[in-house]
Amino acid sequence: MNDEMRRVLEEVRVGSLSVEEALGRLKAAPFEDIGYAKVDLHRKVRQGAAEVIYGAGKTPDQMAGIVEVMQSNGQGTVLITRLAADAAAELATLIDDLTYHAQARIGIIGRMPEPDGLGTIVVATGGTSDIPIAEEAALTAEVAGNRVHRLYDVGVAGLHRTLAHLDVLMDATVIIAVAGMEGALPSVLGGLVACPVIAVPTSVGYGAALGGIAALLGMLNSCASGVSVVNIDNGFGAGFLASRINHMRAKE
Amino acid sequence: MNDEMRRVLEEVRVGSLSVEEALGRLKAAPFEDIGYAKVDLHRKVRQGAAEVIYGAGKTPDQMAGIVEVMQSNGQGTVLITRLAADAAAELATLIDDLTYHAQARIGIIGRMPEPDGLGTIVVATGGTSDIPIAEEAALTAEVAGNRVHRLYDVGVAGLHRTLAHLDVLMDATVIIAVAGMEGALPSVLGGLVACPVIAVPTSVGYGAALGGIAALLGMLNSCASGVSVVNIDNGFGAGFLASRINHMRAKE
Amino acid sequence: MNDEMRRVLEEVRVGSLSVEEALGRLKAAPFEDIGYAKVDLHRKVRQGAAEVIYGAGKTPDQMAGIVEVMQSNGQGTVLITRLAADAAAELATLIDDLTYHAQARIGIIGRMPEPDGLGTIVVATGGTSDIPIAEEAALTAEVAGNRVHRLYDVGVAGLHRTLAHLDVLMDATVIIAVAGMEGALPSVLGGLVACPVIAVPTSVGYGAALGGIAALLGMLNSCASGVSVVNIDNGFGAGFLASRINHMRAKE
Amino acid sequence: MNDEMRRVLEEVRVGSLSVEEALGRLKAAPFEDIGYAKVDLHRKVRQGAAEVIYGAGKTPDQMAGIVEVMQSNGQGTVLITRLAADAAAELATLIDDLTYHAQARIGIIGRMPEPDGLGTIVVATGGTSDIPIAEEAALTAEVAGNRVHRLYDVGVAGLHRTLAHLDVLMDATVIIAVAGMEGALPSVLGGLVACPVIAVPTSVGYGAALGGIAALLGMLNSCASGVSVVNIDNGFGAGFLASRINHMRAKE
Amino acid sequence: MNDEMRRVLEEVRVGSLSVEEALGRLKAAPFEDIGYAKVDLHRKVRQGAAEVIYGAGKTPDQMAGIVEVMQSNGQGTVLITRLAADAAAELATLIDDLTYHAQARIGIIGRMPEPDGLGTIVVATGGTSDIPIAEEAALTAEVAGNRVHRLYDVGVAGLHRTLAHLDVLMDATVIIAVAGMEGALPSVLGGLVACPVIAVPTSVGYGAALGGIAALLGMLNSCASGVSVVNIDNGFGAGFLASRINHMRAKE
Amino acid sequence: MNDEMRRVLEEVRVGSLSVEEALGRLKAAPFEDIGYAKVDLHRKVRQGAAEVIYGAGKTPDQMAGIVEVMQSNGQGTVLITRLAADAAAELATLIDDLTYHAQARIGIIGRMPEPDGLGTIVVATGGTSDIPIAEEAALTAEVAGNRVHRLYDVGVAGLHRTLAHLDVLMDATVIIAVAGMEGALPSVLGGLVACPVIAVPTSVGYGAALGGIAALLGMLNSCASGVSVVNIDNGFGAGFLASRINHMRAKE
Amino acid sequence: MNDEMRRVLEEVRVGSLSVEEALGRLKAAPFEDIGYAKVDLHRKVRQGAAEVIYGAGKTPDQMAGIVEVMQSNGQGTVLITRLAADAAAELATLIDDLTYHAQARIGIIGRMPEPDGLGTIVVATGGTSDIPIAEEAALTAEVAGNRVHRLYDVGVAGLHRTLAHLDVLMDATVIIAVAGMEGALPSVLGGLVACPVIAVPTSVGYGAALGGIAALLGMLNSCASGVSVVNIDNGFGAGFLASRINHMRAKE
Amino acid sequence: MNDEMRRVLEEVRVGSLSVEEALGRLKAAPFEDIGYAKVDLHRKVRQGAAEVIYGAGKTPDQMAGIVEVMQSNGQGTVLITRLAADAAAELATLIDDLTYHAQARIGIIGRMPEPDGLGTIVVATGGTSDIPIAEEAALTAEVAGNRVHRLYDVGVAGLHRTLAHLDVLMDATVIIAVAGMEGALPSVLGGLVACPVIAVPTSVGYGAALGGIAALLGMLNSCASGVSVVNIDNGFGAGFLASRINHMRAKE
């Protein structure tokens, strides 16, 4: 936004913009107001990611409206998270080119980009019940231009399954470790590898799992270095962050 | 107590005990009342363990009084847990034959028994800070007649340290896994071995460790089978239970 | 796994295995990957128990697939926990020899083994509402080769009902104490007997029962020795652990 | 207060009180304002109890000032709770006739009344560490004119100690059950007797005792009828309420 | 039970009972085992109350079976709490003389006793949403032989409504104060009256009400003396205890 | 109520009111008792607001009854909050002039007053999912006679959207900041403006949002001055309070 | 800040400011960076309050440094909150004109302004232990130019003490209600008056008071309208907000 | 470790290592056991970081011993975190070349490396009280070879201070956002920049800050993408992870 601010100031200076117009442009530019949402059109540029719609609590009509504004502003690929199956079916009648991933509850509009990151993002889960959240992470990362390797059901109570995939783990540039219950997977993986580990607690479990709080606390207290944590069941957040890390390049 | 009850009834039946006496004996027998405590004299027989005094909140005088009653009733070895260093020093002036273990805050009166269990109890810790609780468990088990193998600082973030001791772990009859922070050690060990694992969460850690709650929740949600949990920092409870399991024998 | 590792190393040494083959075998051996699950084929040997499938969140097709892999690898008896009634009905059309226990939500494939443990496991409950979890524990123990005595509705507010069964309790080799609400049963039983007591908090209750948290906390703070705790409603975990303890034998 | 209001109205009606005076009296009457406190002079009449000062956070000077106001208004006996030992020593130099009970941290000014209740209040504790709170309850009840029977260290893990005193328990008109850790004592006692049981959780314990929360939750979920609960460590509240119940008499 | 024990011992002494028979009688007497429940037949005598069935989680068939055992043992009036409307309808086809109170979810079998207590129990609520729990308390007290005065919707935010009923409140022998949200009603009432106040937190409210936890904590911290608390939504417990207090009489 | 009390006293003094009548009037005046509710008729005068009915848990019949009493006592406008769509439809058949706002779940009977406050109340939300609660606040404020400016979807992660509306924010007399998830909106707005900010946490979010607790805690810890907080999802409370502040005028 | 931004833009437009200078001024203007703090010099103008320093965790030297910058920028009166007694003594040697209020832990530099608000702010407390927090609120309000009436020890369990001051309460323009334990004071006051009530929970209490959480929850769930809440023990925040409300004036 | 394993297998294959030796080397290699700790000598290679000692709970002697082992194994730079001032003073007498940073409680042995990362890590704090944790993060990053820009006291309630540094923020390759209280800083920064943001909640605050839990929850629920969280007060973890991200490079 600093650039935007600098540009506006420059135009005021050379006289091509009045003060009133400048104030107006600072207000109007970065998004389009369609009543129920302020569609953020500069976000891709500003944040370097495909545009995302959080689908929960939006009607198919609202989502179609937002997609339309995005597309008319040149946004190629759109990701819709937390998209229920019935909403997806209705949305498919309103817009073209929607692919729906039921397990991950993700809809993708437009084509998948070629991977252009530093290497491979590994998405690992402790059990089979964690797969929906892992898929949300994996698809998010793929939409953002990353190669993804899925490694499911490698929980710490069957350590030989983890160790059997040591080569895959050690080749990763980023690991997303998805686990419910005691959430120990990120600690074990974090102790084996030298790349960043993004821990995703899931609400899998019962009783003292407390809807994912036990896994969350376990991950926050990880004795392994290089581990950070996102919200319970936040596969999207993990995939988005992993992509950012996998696209790091020198600044100067 | 059933035996006691049966014995009293039998004596009433043969006339060697009046009803009043019977009621009296049921009340008076199993403990001696010394005002500030009801010393439980049948507990060793009933429960198969050396007598234990929970030292926290008792004065050296009170502890010496309880020990005296125990010894005058034939109790050989007495274990005092949560015994502070200064209280131990004062207690040593009141009773003979006290050995004090500062790190574990344990005092032992009398001689250590020979190990007579089924095999070896392994006491493992995730880090060095967990050692005081582990020592409480290990000494409790030794006082109760068990061979103990200590395996400290083998936390899950350095998996190779754990795996290096696989032979010790697989030879154990019972494992006591002591860990703070994320408390993942019991899960990893529980997945490797086929013996009961007693998990002891510790209050080691900070922030979201919540004084041991994070480790406790992690252990309760362990995805490994054969794991059960005792209270935070309850090394004594784990050592006591491990001894019971290590002394199992056929009944009937 | 140490044995496996040693065996592989030995074969490499004698030249019957190349380094590449050795690494491959370390990866491939212990489980079969069927996409949605990594079926753990060495688990029975490694852990000494019948194979178990956690039914919650798996489709009948998936469960049938896992059973098939197990059976083709010689696994005789399979236990499916958290198996809903409708899933059980559908599963029964896919595989032979399924017995469904509705109250415990358990399915058993194959025949029950003869009891070969050290003695009898007593499964006690505080109230009638705790029976489903108790049955999960009891059936798990029976599938694992244990004689089980059920003692239901003997909560601490009616102490005479507990005391009436003192002989059964004192003959047990292991007691599983299942209770919701204040969860005091394990403390009372733990004070009466000299065998290990496994406490199972249940989610029975309302208000300040907090879905089983009150019972869980009560059990963790038990003033009786020899008590350890598993997760809320985890009947399977208690039955599995009780069986391990009831099958203890001398090592070395 | 209704009586007060009625009396004031009556005086207004007969002309012996102006409206302004009436308003004034409604404001001024029931307490005396000494700056740092509004001493409640009608409370004994209104509530039927000796006056009580909550000592925590008050200076000896402040307490002496309040006592003086009370005594000059005819209050005979005054109870000071949560009175630290050093504050008590200082207070003793300021007022006459102060008896200090160190364990209960209670100071009593004036003479103890004769018991005039319906029967005996039994104060029972689970362990020796609960005694200070129990003493706070017992002394409060004695100051309020009740006969009290102390029954300490009768926790549920040593059931024979409880049963040995069945006759005392069944003769009680009210039982105050004081316990920390798992707090099961009120449930067990509540199942044995037919009188009201007041449960007092204590902060005795560690780890998952959560400073008394575990005991509190256990008591609130008691499966025994006739049990109610006061705040953690609130011995005074239990003694006060027990006295009220022990002084019940027919109305109307 | 002491009496029972004493009687059995006496019979053993005079030879009319063998030891084996004595042990048997101690086991068999106090309840009848009908498989899914151990019906407690001595409870009325022992505890002085009409028998109660906790209806939640029991089938109409089970409840009818329990009622039948009770009635064949001479129990006149039976109270069923937490009885859902559809279960009540089905139960009405199985047993005679069932009156169903829909709001309180209570079923009563047999006739209501005449009030024989010390005075009147006042049941007050903070709002209209608390009425179902208040009715559970009121009906429980009526079944137990008490006169009950209902005072609904007198919450503390409309103090004049409370004060308008001061005479009723001051005439009560026991007050049951039922409130959700901030749960301040018992404090205000407790400060006005001199009788015991039983506080019942309800799960009425939203957000930070935390399902009744806020009200529960508020009541436990009441600055008024003479207040004790039961579990959230436990109208039955409050009514039962109030009846006990309202039936106090001198002992000895 | 003081005025009422003074007036009653005055009438007693001049003899136009007997003591009994005075007591009666103090009881009867301020509300009308219609069984299931005590309709508060003096509340508008006493509190300066249109009368409000909390619709949750009341039947359409009950609500219609309360409205009738209000209207027959001269209450012009009535606001019903938490009014479900189907209840609104049924209520519309019972009373005239009901306008239903579905998103806010609010029903309004009677006409909207002209704004007569000090200035404009701004209602801002962090996201689109917070709009229903914001509308509850906005409509409440409008019914109470305030001009309202809605500023939705201006969450802190898109700061330029907030800054674009700085002029609106700085012109507000009161700001209601509605946000779920991390609840940071009030802090950011509170740092920009010099008017009171009322923070409304919403239950929008998942996982560690804990049903609004995360937002609530964030708002309570706001580092901006001038911020206060109401209950989770309590749009009504915020609107009501904002109106009070927007109608402040000099006293004395 | 909008004004600042507008002014800068205008200067750029007329050529009196280059783009680089403009960016620089936007950065440099509103505060002075003295290393350990960024002193906010425009805050008084922007927010309309005397400058405040949060004293906790700052050394006397640091505080003196900040005061110096403020005073050299024309700030007249400075308020230091959470100022420990020893830090105050040291600070008094470094700066002139410091008045220290020990109970409130507040230091004031400069002279008190004349009250210029709409009316009187009443600060009420439930008990005497709440007075320190109340004084923090009262002094903050006085420094900000408000007349303050203190009404201490008027908790809800002694309702007559509250009612005796009805006239003071009804004359207030804003009420600050400070209470610990069950925190019911704001509900009771909120039901009596028609002005905004700011609730301040305090950490006064023990056990289930949970360090102020019980009071906080109670206040958030207040059934009275017009009540909002600040953080536990946040007397400053309440005083600051009350002053803002007491200084409301019409905005076009 | 895979490489290690592969190397060992290869040596076995060519006959330069016996099976027993191979097993032995797998055990012995990666760490040196000095009794109270297992010093992890391969960690730098394996994880790419300077060796770290967690100082809390270790004596100066123990720390000196560990440092010695490290240095004799060629480790150049050693970082000691949570090093108290007095322990640092004592340690300085035992080893050479120790630099102590009091505010961050960090000791550094050996020389600082030249920065060799992708760009600059910005460490920002909300307030001055967060600086100690921020310094722990900054020094950790510097020891690990990163250029660090400190940006302290830029909390969200003074937004202009944040915006004034937009250029620094937008030039960062990684941002570490350190904040207590409501923890909103990472959300605001995360919305402005396109690089990964590591959020560090601190225990700064009081009351409802809950020792950092409020900030932690706020950060986990951040509505900005690209944000992940570490444990409360875990400056080291954030600095370590930031360094890993700032050293990302392409992998096959």
The mean predicted confidence, pLDDT, of chain F is 85
Which residues of chain G does H207 touch, with a Cβ-Cβ cutoff of 8 Å? 201, 203, 211-212, 216, 231-234
Residue D86 reports pLDDT greater than 80: yes
Q: Which of A128, A153, A207 sits opposite C231 (nearest CB)?
A: A207
Residue range(s) in chain C whose domain bears CATH number 3.40.50.1970:
120-246
Q: How many residues comprise chain C?
A: 252
Which residues of chain B does A231 touch, with a Cβ-Cβ cutoff of 8 Å? none
pLDDT digits (tens, 9 = 90+) for H6-52: 666 677 677 777 766 665 565 444 455 555 555 655 444 334 455 78
Chain E partners (3+ C-beta pairs within 8 A): B, C, D, F, G
H runs (alpha helix) in chain A? 2-13, 19-28, 43-47, 60-72, 85-92, 131-143, 159-163, 166-171, 185-192, 213-220, 235-246
C9 pLDDT band, cuts 50/70/90, is low
User: Cβ of H221 under 8 Å from any chain F Cβ?
Assistant: yes
Alpha carbons within 13 angstroms on the beta-carbon side of residue A119 total 18
Residue H161 reports pLDDT greater than 80: no
Predicted pLDDT at A164:
75
Predicted pLDDT at C49:
54
Predicted pLDDT at B191:
85
Which residues of chain B does C118 touch, with a Cβ-Cβ cutoff of 8 Å? 248-251
3-state class (DSSP) for residue E175: strand
H109: tokens are 């042995």
User: Cβ of B221 under 8 Å from any chain C Cβ?
Assistant: yes
Whole-model pTM: value is 0.89
E146: tokens are 């008490």
Give me the residues paired with residue C70 across strands. Answer: none
Predicted pLDDT at E11:
75
| D12 contacts F12? CB cut-off 8 A | yes
Which residues of chain C does A208 touch, with a Cβ-Cβ cutoff of 8 Å? 212-213, 216, 231-232
G50: tokens are 């005397």
Q: What is the mean pLDDT of residues H201-212?
A: 95
Predicted pLDDT at F19:
65
- Cβ burial, residue C84 (10 Å; 0-12/13-18/19+): middle
Predicted pLDDT at F66:
86
Which residues of chain B does H38 touch, with a Cβ-Cβ cutoff of 8 Å? 152-154, 158, 161
Which residues of chain H does A246 touch, with a Cβ-Cβ cutoff of 8 Å? 248
CB contact set of D1 (below 8 Å; sequence gap of 6+): D30, D46, E166, E192, G159, G160
Q: Give H164 or E123, the one with higher predicted confidence.
A: E123
| E241 contacts D226? CB cut-off 8 A | yes
Strand H51-54 versus strand H78-81 pairing type: parallel
Q: DSSP label at A92?
A: H
pLDDT digits (tens, 9 = 90+) for B10-22: 676 677 777 666 6
Q: What is the mean pLDDT of residues H190-201?
A: 93
Of G177, G176, G218, G169, the residue nearest G194 (C-alpha)? G169
The interface predicted TM-score of the complex, written ipTM, equals 0.86
The mean predicted confidence, pLDDT, of chain B is 85
Q: How far is CA B22 from the centre of its chain?
A: 34
The one-letter code for the residue type at G181 is M
D67: tokens are 């006592």
Strand A98-101 versus strand A106-109 pairing type: antiparallel
What number of C-beta contacts closer than 8 Å exist between C and D?
116
3-state SS, one letter per residue, for F83-124: CCHHHHHHHHCCCCCEEEECCCCEEEECCCCCCCCCCEEEEE
| C233 contacts A158? CB cut-off 8 A | no
Q: How far is CA D150 from the centre of its chain?
A: 16
Sign of the torsion formed by the C-alpha atoms of E123, E125, E128 and E129: negative
Distance from CA of D123 to the nearest CA of C (A): 19
Q: Which of A153, A158, A206 sits opposite C233 (nearest CB)?
A: A206
Distance CA G7, CA A12 (A): 13
Of F235, F227, F242, the residue nearest F203 (C-alpha)? F235
pLDDT digits (tens, 9 = 90+) for B102-137: 999 999 998 888 999 999 999 999 988 999 999 999
Which residues of chain G does D1 touch, with a Cβ-Cβ cutoff of 8 Å? 159-160
C28: tokens are 């491939």
Distance CA F108, CA F101 (A): 8
A120: tokens are 């491979």
Chain C partners (3+ C-beta pairs within 8 A): A, B, D, E, H
Touching status, chains B and H (3+ beta-carbon pairs under 8 Å): yes
User: Cβ of E235 under 8 Å from any chain G Cβ?
Assistant: no
Which residues of chain F does A27 touch, with a Cβ-Cβ cutoff of 8 Å? 164-165
Chain G partners (3+ C-beta pairs within 8 A): A, D, E, F, H
* Ranges in chain E, pLDDT < 50: 1-2, 27-30, 42-48
Touching status, chains D and C (3+ beta-carbon pairs under 8 Å): yes
Q: What proportion of chain G, given as a percentage, has pLDDT over 70?
A: 81
CB contact set of A5 (below 8 Å; sequence gap of 6+): A26, G23, H166
Residue A45 reports pLDDT greater than 50: no
Residues 3-42, chain A, touching G (beta carbon < 8 A):
5-6, 9-10, 12-13, 15, 18-19, 22-23
CB contact set of G104 (below 8 Å; sequence gap of 6+): G132, G135, G136, G138, G139, G235
E24: tokens are 């048997």
Residue D215 reports pLDDT greater than 50: yes
3-state class (DSSP) for residue A77: coil
User: Cβ of F232 under 8 Å from any chain E Cβ?
Assistant: yes
User: Cβ of E216 under 8 Å from any chain C Cβ?
Assistant: yes
Of G23, G26, G16, G91, the residue nearest G53 (C-alpha)? G91
User: Which strands, in side-by-side order, build the sheet including H227-229?
Assistant: A147-151, A120-125, A172-179, A197-201, A227-229, H227-229, H197-201, H172-179, H120-125, H147-151
pLDDT digits (tens, 9 = 90+) for G93-137: 999 889 999 999 999 998 888 999 999 999 999 988 999 999 999
Q: What is the mean pLDDT of residues C184-193?
A: 90
Predicted pLDDT at B48:
47
User: Cβ of G213 under 8 Å from any chain A Cβ?
Assistant: no
Residues 55-84, chain D, touching G (beta carbon < 8 A):
56-58
Q: Which of E225, E244, E249 sits opposite D237 (nearest CB)?
A: E225
Predicted pLDDT at F57:
78
Q: What proportion of chain H, given as a percentage, has pLDDT over 70?
A: 82
Q: Which of C5, C10, C23 sits opposite H6 (nearest CB)?
A: C23
Predicted pLDDT at C1:
43
- For E57, phi and psi rounded to 5 degrees? 80, 5
C56: closest chain A residue by CA? A129
B170: tokens are 């697989």
Distance from CA of F5 to the nearest CA of A (A): 51
| E161 contacts F38? CB cut-off 8 A | yes
Q: DSSP label at H207?
A: G
**In what helix (H) or strand (E) does residue D13 lie, and over which residues does it extend?**
helix D2-13
Give me the residues paired with residue F80 across strands. Answer: F53, F107
D211 pLDDT band, cuts 50/70/90, is very high
Q: Which of F221, F225, F228 sits opposite G198 (nearest CB)?
A: F228
Of C58, H224, B182, B212, the residue nearest A179 (C-alpha)? B182
Distance CA H195, CA H174 (A): 6
Q: How far is CA D227 from the centre of its chain?
A: 17
Which residues of chain D does E140 touch, with a Cβ-Cβ cutoff of 8 Å? none
Distance CA H227, CA A157 (A): 30
**In what helix (H) or strand (E) does residue A54 lie, and over which residues does it extend?**
strand A51-54
| D38 contacts G153? CB cut-off 8 A | yes
B156: closest chain A residue by CA? A188
Residue F183 reports pLDDT greater than 50: yes
Q: What is the mean pLDDT of residues C30-50?
A: 52
Q: Are D128 and B57 in contact (CB under 8 A)?
A: yes
Tell me the Ramachandran region of residue C179: left when phi exceeds 0, alpha when psi lies from -120 to 50, beta otherwise.
beta
- Kindly tell me the number of DSSP H helices and DSSP E strands found in chain E: 11, 11
The one-letter code for the residue type at D123 is V
Distance from CA of C24 to the nearest CA of D (A): 46
Give me the residues paired with residue D179 across strands. Answer: D201
pLDDT digits (tens, 9 = 90+) for B27-79: 444 455 555 555 555 444 334 455 788 888 788 998 998 888 888 877 678 99
Strand E197-201 versus strand E174-179 pairing type: parallel
Q: What is the mean pLDDT of residues C127-147?
A: 95
Domain H120-246 has CATH 3.40.50.1970: yes
pLDDT digits (tens, 9 = 90+) for G157-210: 777 777 778 888 989 999 999 999 989 999 999 988 889 999 999 999 999 999
D39: tokens are 């001493």
Q: Are D66 and D53 in contact (CB under 8 A)?
A: yes
> Which CA distances in Å does F121 have to B183, F104, F146, G97?
51, 17, 7, 40
